[in-house]
Amino acid sequence: MSKIDLDEFHLDPRIAADSDEICDLTLCQARLHHDARYPWLLLIPRRAGVSELFDLAPSDRAVLAEEIAAAGQVLKDVTRCDKINVGTLGNVVSQLHVHVTARFEDDPAWPRAAWGYGQPHQYDQAARDALLQVLRNRLRSA
């Protein structure tokens, strides 16, 4: 008998490699994407086998909507950005993940979508650690 639990959540290794864990929310794992051009959160519902929003249970989708809103509000407050962009594509990595991205009128991709635009810039490690800590504190109390 197989010991594999098909319902167990595993983070896609490409998402893990391109981002740092911030904290777990009720449904999602919140992560900071490795791209210093835009403060950029990823929300990954901790559910197995989910690719499309319509694959989620409605009760999970309601929680996800609130976590997206909270993440956007925190990111706006912390960065004082001009606009929050939210997207879920999954054309490369099929595991459902939602981008919540702070946009500025003078950022490299403005006004186009930032996702997949150009090459990421690496964070200075101290700056990234400081941002992770601020976001962790804010998201946990959101």
Give least dist CB 4 to a second copy, A. Answer: 26
* Residue count, binding to a second copy (CB under 8 A): 37
Is there binding between residue 70 and a second copy (CB under 8 A)?
yes
- Out of 36, 88, 132, 137, point to the residue binding a second copy (CB under 8 A): 88
Report d(CA 39, CA 85) in Å as an integer.
11
**Choice between 73 and 137, CB closer to a second copy:** 73
Cα–Cα separations (whole angstroms), residue 17 to 57, 81, 112: 28, 26, 25
Report d(CA 103, CA 110) in Å as an integer.
7
Report d(CA 18, CA 125) in Å as an integer.
14
* CA within 13 Å, CB half, 4: 4
Q: Are 85 and 101 in contact (CB under 8 A)?
A: yes
Is there binding between residue 91 and a second copy (CB under 8 A)?
yes
- Out of 25, 56, 102, 139, point to the residue binding a second copy (CB under 8 A): 56
- Out of 48, 62, 127, 130, point to the residue binding a second copy (CB under 8 A): 62
**Choice between 57 and 127, CB closer to a second copy:** 57
CB neighbour list of residue 51: distance below 8 Å, 6 or more residues apart: 90, 94, 95, 96
- Out of 52, 118, 122, 124, point to the residue binding a second copy (CB under 8 A): 52
Is there binding between residue 73 and a second copy (CB under 8 A)?
yes
Interface positions with a second copy (CB under 8 A): 51-54, 56, 58, 61-62, 64-66, 68-70, 72-73, 76, 82-92, 94, 103, 110-113, 115-117
